[in-house]
Amino acid sequence: MQCSPAGKISGLGRLLAALCVLISCLSCSLPGQAADILLTGIEDNPDVQAFTQALRALRPQDNVRFQALADLPTPGKLPEQTRLILLDPPSLDWRMQDAQGPATLVLGISRLQARQRLNNRLPPRLSLLWSAPPPGRQLRLARLLQPQVKRVGVLYDDHSEFLLNELRQTARPLGLELVTERWDNIHDSRPLQKLLKDCDVLLGLDDPDLYNSQTAKNLLLSSYARQLALIGPNAGFVKAGSLASTYSDQSDWLAILNELLDRPPTTWPRTQYPHRFKVASNPQVARALGIGQINDASVATLLAEGERHP
């Protein structure tokens, strides 16, 4: 007996449905397509190679590689699906020569470096990951270590003056007053001495013109002569004699990159401060200022909790 046309159609439908289920199951079991992650910078050295290898270990499913800037074509000639990570300012200069090019993460760039190169404009497909901690975190660190402080002293120059508005807006809700002094000539100590008379704590900006090996001795000796702490601007200054600072190390940046690379580039932030961080303090300075022992890990936890629950 022959099957009716309706029976044939019914059987075909069941077969197609079964095939769809099978294909769906196979699709779920297959690994996702590997992403091409390209790191670049002007210099290929052991630190860069170690960083690349560490990121590769975090993302074994992807093609993670480093290629020196001199060996790359113009950005627009790179494959569109590449995820580009820039490791230094010269690589940003290279990226800026071409409006075309893949989605790009600019790792560890300072606010000053970005302003000098971008002049307050942010080209599309660029995500800037700031090297310095957010000002609010540094201010909360100062309050946590010295709850009595009210007036925060800040030195600035032409390059860093634009940071003051953000600092003022951040200080106000914390009940802190910002006291500022322009310091155009680092060989003239009068602005520094004037500021130290008018503040309870000195906050260091991420401005290498003001905070460097030439100025460190004057800044530190002058502030501690008045029993005032210097917060920041980075972990290096803490070793030199600053009281404390928050900072993000290689493991923090690797974790931040890993999180971002898990997301579609269209969702990457235009700018972002490092949300993973640690605290460094100087025990000798803390004792000299009568603060006592600082538990860096506990302080970092308190600061992180404050940022999650403002």
Least confident of 8-22, 23-37, 132-146, 174-188: 8-22
Q: Which residues contact 39 (CB under 8 A, 6 or more apart)?
A: 48, 51, 52, 55, 64, 65, 66, 67, 85, 87
Mean pLDDT throughout 25-32?
40
Amino acid at 141: L
Q: Which residues contact 75 (CB under 8 A, 6 or more apart)?
A: 84, 94, 95, 97, 98, 100, 101, 102, 104
Share of the chain above pLDDT 90, in %: 84
Q: Which fold has domain 135-248+277-308?
A: Rossmann fold (3.40.50)
Angle at 13 between CA 11 and CA 17, to 5 degrees: 120
Query: What whole-number distance in Å separates Cα of residue 167 and Cα of residue 111?
Result: 13
Residues paired with residue 153 on neighbouring β-strands, in sequence order: 179, 202
Residues paired with residue 154 on neighbouring β-strands, in sequence order: 180
CATH class for the region spanning 36-130 = alpha beta
pLDDT bin (cut points 50, 70, 90) of residue 27 is: very low
The helix (H) or strand (E) run that includes residue 203 is: strand 201-203
> Do 135-248+277-308 and 36-130 fall under one CATH topology?
yes
CB atoms < 10 A from the CB of 138, how many?
Answer: 24
pLDDT digits (tens, 9 = 90+) for 115-172: 999 988 888 999 999 999 999 999 999 999 999 999 999 999 999 999 999 999 999 9
Query: What whole-number distance in Å separates Cα of residue 133 and Cα of residue 277?
Result: 8
**Domain edges within the chain:** 36-130, 135-248+277-308
CA neighbor of 80 nearest in space, from 51, 38, 118, 39: 38
